[in-house]
Amino acid sequence: MLKKLQDRWKVNGINLVLIITTFAVGGSLCGWIGRKLLSFTNLDKGVVWVIIYIVLITLLWPLCVLLISIPLGQFTFFKKYLVKVGRRMTGRKINDLNPAVNLAIFASGAGSNARKIIDYFNAIPGNKVKIGLIVCNNPAAGVLQIAGENQIPSIIIEKEKFLRGDAYLPELKSYGINYIILAGFLWKLPPSLINAFPQKIINIHPALLPKYGGKGMYGHHVHEAVIANKEKQSGISIHYADELYDHGEVIFQATCELTDADTVDTLTKKIQALEHAHYPAVIDTVIKKQNPR
């Protein structure tokens, strides 16, 4: 039963325990408050008392579980859960709850870009874009913690299956993924994945393409090359991914100035600021352009 709940809610084991705890404590709290409120009346515990008590706990329950969910770190889950319950009660179709676009973020490291993308789309009122999955090739990556904090399911992928197997296409299909967003994902993409998501895989590169792209050009390696060549500018390139490293059609570029005093560390900070400022918005623009409403 617990496994079924975990699959249904798409959460890990720890979050499942916290969710169940929130249900239990929140239910107990609203029951206690309901009885306490009725104790201030002169009603006997008869039919009228029971009816009023049921009405009270029905009204109190959402507030109580939201209150308990905050210290347990489950507020995002219960906010979405209560919206679904409310829409069911008012006759809204379940299909209306489904986002128009479902994203999978592929990442290998700390996940700073992933966090910015998640925060960006979560902040849009009535947003129809959902981060439905985090895909990671590194079990120790910080992005997995970000996924847990935001109640986003995640999968750890294995290289042989990804590159020479089914590229995890069945898993992506099961989560209803429409777009793949690469956010510091270091493996080359297999052709089967590219073919399954034509013009639907977006990558960000920490330099200006095409000059500073290709195999081995990632992270500090890119910045070292830019500084060694005494460039006056660097920047970011957001592009559609294809079967070659850093090769697909460029969607957007932004630049920053370099000085003789710049180091790999200072350039890294400049590039990261550009990534965080532009990547989520560019993804949003691409989705709106391809999915006019």
End-to-end CA distance of the chain: 39
Catalytic residue at 221? no
Reading the block at residue 18, the tokens are: 């916290």
CB 278 within 8 A of CB 238: yes
Per-residue CA distances from 222 to 259, 263, 291 (Å):
16, 12, 34
State the DSSP string of 207-241: S-TTTT-STT--THHHHHHHHHTT-SEEEEEEEE-
Per-residue CA distances from 9 to 6, 12, 16 (Å):
5, 9, 8
Angle at 89 between CA 86 and CA 92, to 5 degrees: 85
Reading the block at residue 130, the tokens are: 């959902």
Angle at 248 between CA 222 and CA 283, to 5 degrees: 85
Q: Is 42 exposed, middle or buried (0-12, 13-18, 19+ CB in 10 A)?
A: exposed
CB 228 within 8 A of CB 193: no
Active site residues: 205
